[in-house]
Amino acid sequence: MGPLDNFILADDALQATPTGFTLQFHSHWYRSLPLSCMSCKAIINGQAIDESEVFIEANGNKYPFSEMPNLYKEWLFITDGARLHVNGVEPLQKGKQYNIEFKLDLFIPYILVGREGNPLLASSTVTKQLTCN
């Protein structure tokens, strides 16, 4: 979308866990939004993630990924990251590089567009080689 996309995935965004991995992301808007105004999709080494095995964490609170549209009270401050917890996959190897394609959709809640008056969709996709920590 624009230069703020550069902050979506930091170099240390990918971390191995005993049950899979976590991926931290930041929003590419200029202000904080709640999780209800976000949706995302991650592809690792060409493999899409099974969303039924994903949890989203913000402010230390963890929710099933499918709950995101309902989380209008869980705010992600603009300089804070949210973390996807991905389970049920082969754990990643620390020190190895992975290709991450990450799509972040933001539904801007104060800009209504079109005949239906839907929130403006601000979508960004970033692709990055990340070393797993």
Residues of the shown chain interacting with other proteins in the complex, contacts defined by CB under 8 A: 2-4, 6-7, 26, 28, 30-34, 36-37, 69-70, 72, 75, 77-80, 107-113, 117-119
Closest approach of Cβ 31 to other proteins, in Å? 4
Closest approach of Cβ 3 to other proteins, in Å? 4
- Of the two residues 21 and 29, which places its CB atom closer to other proteins in the complex? 29
**Cβ atoms within 10 Å, residue 40:** 21
- Bridge partners (DSSP) of residue 21 are 16, 86
Helices (H), 4-127: none
Tokens 């080494």 locate to: 45
Closest approach of Cβ 75 to other proteins, in Å? 8
